[in-house]
């Protein structure tokens, strides 16, 4: 009896300790409304989703400068914005990495990368890492398709082949956008994001 009580107390202590050092984040799920945010763009201006007028939705992409997967998707993300911004679905790119862990993802490097690649979309810095946990982003890239009222309609990967754009067979994000435009729910509404883990100070 005493050993059982001891085990219960140890389990309770361990749970309390884990909860104290690693609180569970209640991340958005498909169908939930995302709160607006205000983050600094590479041009120095503060940008929020409310700044985009007359949109049908938002392609929110958590990405960065240094991840090989993010680099492989850069041209595709540019192409997505060039194709869909005029249809009311602009790309909103957000760098979630802590630059003290990944120096190549500091704000100055973001500015350089944006100029080098001629990003046609806003490239925002999640300074203090306050936005990405709310979305539940875990990888770069990680995509969240929002409708005009900021309800999340799709979460996951852009397509099914990070390494070679010419070998993509399923364009998950584009299919999700087509579903929204047709008045339907995306199916699938979630896929597994493939990329580097978001860098957080330990």
Which pTM was predicted? 0.87
Domain ranges of the chain: 27-197
Segment 2-12, tens digit of pLDDT: 444 443 333 33
Give me the pLDDT at residue 64, please.
98
Instruction: Round to whole Å and give the CA distance between 150 and 182.
Output: 18
Collapsing DSSP states into helix, strand and coil, what is residue 89?
coil
Instruction: Round to whole Å and give the CA distance between 186 and 179.
Output: 5
Give per-residue burial for 135-156: e unless 16+ CB within 10 Å, then b: bbbbbbbbbbbbbeebebbbbb
Give 88: exposed, middle or buried? Use CB within 10 Å, 0-12, 13-18, 19+: middle
Give me the pLDDT at residue 170, please.
98
Average pLDDT, stretch 137-142?
A: 98
Architecture of the domain whose range is 27-197: 3-Layer(aba) Sandwich (3.40)
Give me the pLDDT at residue 202, please.
78
């Amino acid at each position: 009896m005493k050993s059982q009580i001891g085990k219960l107390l140890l389990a309770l202590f361990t749970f309390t300790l884990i909860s104290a050092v690693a609180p569970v984040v209640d991340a958005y799920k498909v169908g939930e409304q995302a709160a607006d945010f205000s983050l600094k763009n590479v041009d120095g201006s503060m940008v929020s989703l409310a700044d985009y007028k007359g949109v049908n939705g938002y392609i929110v992409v958590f990405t960065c400068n240094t991840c090989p997967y993010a680099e492989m998707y850069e041209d595709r993300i540019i192409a997505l914005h060039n194709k869909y911004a005029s249809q009311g679905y602009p790309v909103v790119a957000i760098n979630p990495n802590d630059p003290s862990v990944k120096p190549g993802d500091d704000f100055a490097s973001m500015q350089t990368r944006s100029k080098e690649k001629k990003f046609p979309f806003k490239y925002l810095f999640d300074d203090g890492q306050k936005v990405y946990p709310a979305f539940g982003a875990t990888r770069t890239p990680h995509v969240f398709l929002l409708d005009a009222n900021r309800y999340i309609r799709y979460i996951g990967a852009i397509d099914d082949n990070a390494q070679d754009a010419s070998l993509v067979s399923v364009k998950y994000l584009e299919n999700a956008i087509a579903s929204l435009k047709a008045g339907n729910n995306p199916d699938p509404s979630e896929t597994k994001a493939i990329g580097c883990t978001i860098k957080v100070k330990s």
